[in-house]
Amino acid sequence: MAIRFVIYGLLGWCMEIVWTAVTTTLKGEQQGWRLEGKSYLWMFPIYGLSAPLFEPLHDLLRPWPWLARGSLYVLGFWAVEYGTGWLLRRLTGACPWDYSRTRWHVHGLIRLDYAPAWFLVGMGLERLHDVLVRLTPAIQQALR
């Protein structure tokens, strides 16, 4: 599980950097095609939580229709994003991400208009989870 925690954390960081680079460029918030993306150190353990939180949920929901699974993943991602954002705000005085200037935010911690993106991430994570379960023994062996 620890190996997959690290893999999810690293992939989440990469995904977020690509997302912020592409969306800020398309919205005209950065000039040219530098594609400068960003993330926060806090995000590594938050994305890493996919291992202990998402994987058991995926195993439980396997027989469900894809629309129901994807919708529940969205709710789960929102719950984690809201909960960790709220906790960081309480502990540090600020949440690293702040959606309060956007139209469809909830307390500045989640964006409802990101539902389609989170839906696709959840469905993609299903396949990644299955691959990682098969690869974990080989990764563990390689690290010894």
137 assigned to some structural domain = no
141 assigned to some structural domain = no
35 assigned to some structural domain = yes
Question: By 3-state DSSP, what share of the chain in percent is helix, strand and coil, each rounded to 5?
Answer: 70, 5, 25
143 assigned to some structural domain = no
90 and 115 belong to one structural domain: yes
In the predicted model, what is the mean pLDDT of the chain? 94
42 and 67 belong to one structural domain: no
118 assigned to some structural domain = yes
At residue 129, the pLDDT reads: 96
Residue 74, Cβ neighbours under 10 Å: how many? 20
Q: What is the pLDDT of residues 59-73, one digit of tens each?
A: 999 999 999 999 999
26 and 68 belong to one structural domain: no
112 and 68 belong to one structural domain: yes
Closest to 81 (Cα-Cα) out of 58, 49, 59: 49
7 and 29 belong to one structural domain: yes
- On whether the CB atoms of residues 61 and 69 are closer than 8 A, the answer is yes
At residue 34, the pLDDT reads: 86
26 and 71 belong to one structural domain: no
**CA-CA distance, 136 to 128, in Å (whole number)?**
12
**CA-CA distance, 81 to 78, in Å (whole number)?**
5
Q: Which domain holds residue 22?
A: 1-48
Domain count, the chain: 2
Q: What is the pTM of this model?
A: 0.90
